[in-house]
Structure 1
C-alpha cells in the first residue's frame, strides 16, 4: 500500500507547476545545455586564401551562368553587369569571345519576365549599333551575322509563344536584327518563309488561307490601348521586313568612290567576273528546284538568297493571307488603317518589281 502511494507521488512531481517569485529566474530544465563558453577561433569551410581579385573574364563567365537563375532580378542584374563591362571595353580586345556571349543571350528573347527582355533589348541596341558612323559598334556586325540563325530561332519561338507579352515583344527583337544585319536576316534558311509563317500566326491571319475573314491579332490584352500599340508595332516591323526582303535599292555611290572603282575595275563588266558575295548564285534560275507554281509552305522554308526567290515565295504562298489580313486592318481606319495601308504599298511595290523583271 505504501509503495503504490509513493509511486503516485513520484508521478505527480512531473505535473507540479513551480511557483515563480518576483526577482528570481526561472529554473533551468534538466536537458539545458550551457552555451556560455567562448571559442578562440572560427573555421570557415572552403575559405579562399587567394588575395588577388577575380578577373573581368571570370566575372563575365560567372554572370553568364547566372542568366539561367530562377530569380528574374538575378538575370536582370547579370545583363546589366555584362552591359557595363562591354561599355568599358574596347572593340579590338573584347573581354569575352562573342561565340560564348551571343549564344547565351539569345534564349532570353523568350524569357518569361518583361524586365529581363527589356534589359536584353537595351543591351543589344546599345552595343550592336554604333552612334558614331566613324566608329564600329562594340559587338561587330560580323559576330551578329554568324549567330543570326540562332537569334531567328528564338524570335520565331517568341512570335508563336503562348504568352501574350512575349509575343508582343518579339517583333522588337526582329526589328533590331533587321537593323543590324539587314538582308542577312531574310536570306538564310528559315529566314524568309519560316518568318512569314510566324507572321501569319502572330497577326491571326491563318483563316485567310481558306478564304474566310481574317480574325484579330492573337495578342489580346485587357487594356485596348495596349492591343492597339502592339498592332501598330507589328505592322511597322512587318513593313520593315517586307521592304528588306523584297525591295532592292541601288546603293548611292559618291564621285570619289566612283573614281576609285573605275581605277580598280577598269572594265565595264568586271563585276560579272568577281567572286560572288552569296552562295547559290544562280538560285534565281530554279534549275533543280520545285516549279514556282507548285511551291508550298514547306518548300518556302528553304533558303532565299535573292529578292526574286523571296518575291516568288510571297506571291505563290503568302500573298493571299497577307493581303486579306491587311485589307481587314485597312477597314478599321485610324492609325491601324494607315499602318496597314503603308504595308500594302510595300507589298505592291515588291511584287510589282517582280512582275517588271519577269516581263
Structure 2
C-alpha cells in the first residue's frame, strides 16, 4: 500500500501547475550562458610595446605617406591638415622635417583629387614650402598642373589655375623656361579656353568652351591667368638693379653676364646628356625665343578669341582688357623675323 500511494503521489506531481509568486524571477535553464561579466582590459593585435614616443620626423613621414596613399578622403584631408599645422608652427629659421624635393612629388598629384577639401588643404600646405626649393621641381609640378587644367571636372580646373598662380609667384622664371613649360602650358590654356585652332586637312573641330560644362563663371579667371603667364614669359624684367651694379663697377660693363649663374643646372637647355626633345618639350631660355614661338603658334588664336570676348560685357570683358595689355607689353618689341632658318 505504501509503495502504491507513493507512486500515485509522484504521478500526480507531473500534472500539477507550479504557482509563481509575485516578484520572483523565472528559473533559468540549465544550458544558459552567463554574460554578466565585464572585461577589465582590451587586447589589440600588433600592439606597440615601446616606452618612447615616435619622433617628430617619423610622425611627419607617416602623415606624408597617409596623405599620398590613403583611400579615404577624410584621412587625406586630415593628414594634409596635420602637415600644414606642423610647418606653420615651426620657427622661421628651422629646417623642414623633409626636403621639398621629396614632398612635392608625393603631394602635388593630389591636385587631381576628387575631394574639394583635399585640394583646398593641399594649396594651403604648398604655400608654406620654401620658394627657393620649388623651382627645381617646376617641370614635374607643371605636369600635374596641366593635367588639372584640362580635366573634365570644372572645380579641378579652377584649383589647377590656383596652383599655377602659386608656381608663378614662387618660381616664375623656372616655370616658363623648364622643358615643356612654355609650349605645353600654352596648349593647355588654348584647350581649356576653347581657343585651340584645328590643324591639318581633317574635319575634326577643336573643343569649344561650352564642352567643359559650366565654364562661363570660370572663364574670366582663365583669361586673367593666361595674362599672368604671358606676362611672366614675354614681358622684359626691369634692369634697374643690373644698371646700378654696372655703374658701381665702372668701367666694367655687363658684369652680370660673366658672374656665376644663380640657378641650378644653368646649361640644362643645351640638353647635352638627355634624350632628344621635340618643339613642345624644348626649353626656351631667351625671351626672344618665347616671343617667336608664341607669335607663330598661338598669337592668331589668342587674338581671335580676344575679339570674341571683347564683345561680351561684364567680368569677361574686363579680363580681356588685362590680357590685351599683357600682349602689347610682351610683343611690342618683337620684330617678326624668324632667324632660325
TM over 0.5: yes
Change in 2 beyond 3 A, CA 1:186/1:27:
farther
SS in 1 for 2:267: coil
**1:211-290 superposed matches below 5 A:** 215-216=208-209, 218-221=211-214, 227-253=215-241, 258=244, 262=247, 266-276=251-261, 278-279=266-267
1:49 deviation in Å?
2.2
Change in 2 beyond 3 A, CA 1:74/1:282:
closer
Q: Which runs of 5+ in 1 are unaligned?
A: 1-19, 128-138, 222-226, 284-288, 291-297
Give the number of aligned pairs.
309
Match of 1:318 in 2: 298
CA contact (8 A) 1:213 1:324 kept: no
Distance (Å, rounded) in 2 between the aligned partners of 1:106 and 1:41? 43
RMSD value over aligned CA atoms?
3.4
| Larger helix fraction of residues | 1
Change in 2 beyond 3 A, CA 1:27/1:235:
farther
Q: Which runs of 5+ in 2 are unaligned?
A: 1-19
**1:126-165 superposed matches below 5 A:** 127=128, 139-165=129-155
Farther-moved stretch of structure 1 (203-212 vs 182-191): 203-212
Match of 1:52 in 2: 52
Distance (Å, rounded) in 1 between the aligned partners of 2:101 and 2:120? 22
Structure with bigger gyration radius: 2
* 2:181 paired with 1:196: no
Change in 2 beyond 3 A, CA 1:335/1:45:
closer
Distance (Å, rounded) in 2 between the aligned partners of 1:191 and 1:93? 30
Distance (Å, rounded) in 1 between the aligned partners of 2:36 and 2:206? 82
Distance (Å, rounded) in 1 between the aligned partners of 2:261 and 2:283? 17
Match of 2:98 in 1: 96
CA contact (8 A) 2:152 2:212 kept: no
Distance (Å, rounded) in 2 between the aligned partners of 1:30 and 1:321? 90
CA contact (8 A) 1:159 1:199 kept: yes
Distance (Å, rounded) in 2 between the aligned partners of 1:350 and 1:268? 26
Change in 2 beyond 3 A, CA 1:30/1:65:
farther
1:22 deviation in Å?
8.1
Farther-moved stretch of structure 1 (185-194 vs 211-220): 211-220
Distance (Å, rounded) in 1 between the aligned partners of 2:39 and 2:118? 46
Match of 1:305 in 2: 285
1:241 deviation in Å?
0.2
SS in 2 for 1:299: coil
Q: TM-score, normalised by structure 2?
A: 0.78
Distance (Å, rounded) in 2 between the aligned partners of 1:282 and 1:93? 34
**1:42-81 superposed matches below 5 A:** 43-67=43-67, 68-81=69-82
Match of 2:17 in 1: none
CA contact (8 A) 1:280 1:305 kept: no
1:81 deviation in Å?
0.7
1:31 deviation in Å?
6.5
Q: TM-score, normalised by structure 1?
A: 0.74
Farther-moved stretch of structure 1 (57-66 vs 268-277): 268-277
